[in-house]
Amino acid sequence: MERLVDRFGREIYYLRISVTDRCNYRCVYCMPKEGIKWKPMEEILTYEEIAAFVDVAAGLGIRKIKLTGGEPLVRRGLSNLVSMLKSIRGIDEISLTTNGSLLKLYAEDLKRAGLDRITISIDTLNRDKFREITRFGSLDDVVEGAKALNRVDFKNSKINTVVMRHINDDEVVDLIKFSMDLGFDIRFIELMPTDLIKNWKRHFIPINEIRSLIEKEFKLEKDDKKTNGPAVYYRIGGIHVGFITPLSSAFCNACNRIRLTSDGFILTCLGHSDRVGVRDAIRKGDREELERLIKLAVFKKPKEHELLSENIHSSMASVGG
């Protein structure tokens, strides 16, 4: 099997796939309150087209898949895509990131289809604050979804939390206790700038401060746990606590991923606007051209992000976060 290696010696084996730009939430750091203009469905890749792309990418060395959105579970029949991807030779793992609101409906189907693990985004345990952050969300729905993962025996479930000063930084310890009750790992993520948060620096809190908040209550024991992403992990009791530091301590030198957008572009870096269009090649069934375009995208992958010098994306929902 081939290996995809960029100009800087990084092996690229992890593909994040945005299956839709649509979402049933309007989180303050991700999407404007009025939403965004959805892409016409004829521009969105079908499940068969996504699978065809992954089949070519797997032949070049892609082994790990993460399904994202928008909110991936608002697209009907997602478990069918999981089944398709599980049958592709060379794919070792398929995971999903979701806001959790629909998991109570689909957890069992996803487990049956072969999905390996799920990460739920939860930024607060306060119902009113949850509504303010998500604008449409119900915390109760998400908690029910998290419990559904345990009922159908999903393993290695995680919670992702974007920590924002003056908004939810006072809940870090409570979120760890909540994760411990569920038996989930939890990862704390630094707020990233987008065009949606003009005063993002006011709400930015570096991971070192978050760790200090945690250490007032718990002892963090360094752990060598490795996942597909850039988190550095510690252990508290029976769970892992991870920290993702895109700004205070960039991890670009270890980046292992590319992204496929829902409308058929390869995004080489979340902190760059460069992209390579592959939809036409997919729809023509041109494997040779697809191989060329994937290799081109990996070649164009930048050395590091530019999140601190410009706001790249107006909506994370359009690129898969």
Question: What is the DSSP code string of 29-95?
Answer: TTS-TT---PPPGGGSPPHHHHHHHHHHHHHHT--EEEEESS-GGGSTTHHHHHHHHHTSTT--EEE
C-alpha span between 76 and 74 (Å, rounded): 6
Q: What is the pLDDT of residue 190?
A: 85
Tell whether omega for the bond before 69 is within 30 degrees of 0, i.e. cis: no
Enter the tokens of residue 308. Answer: 């601190």
Q: Provide the pLDDT for residue 34.
A: 72
Those residues with Cβ within 8 angstroms of residue 233's Cβ, 6 or more apart along the chain or in another chain: 185, 223, 224, 225, 227, 240, 241, 242, 243
Instruction: Give the pLDDT means over successive 10-residue stretches in the chain (321 positions).
Output: 90 97 88 79 97 98 96 97 98 97 98 98 97 93 98 97 94 98 95 69 88 94 80 92 74 86 93 88 98 96 69 54 54
Tokens standing for 292? Answer: 């060329």
Q: What is the pTM of this model?
A: 0.92
Alpha carbon distance 39, 233 (integer Å): 37
Question: Residue 173: CB partners within 8 Å, gap ≥ 6?
Answer: 213, 214, 216, 217, 218
pLDDT at 303: 84
pLDDT confidence of residue 289: 98
Q: Domains in the chain and their CATH numbers? A: 14-318 (3.20.20.70)
As a 3-state breakdown, the chain gives helix, strand, coil percent values, each rounded to 5, of 35, 20, 45
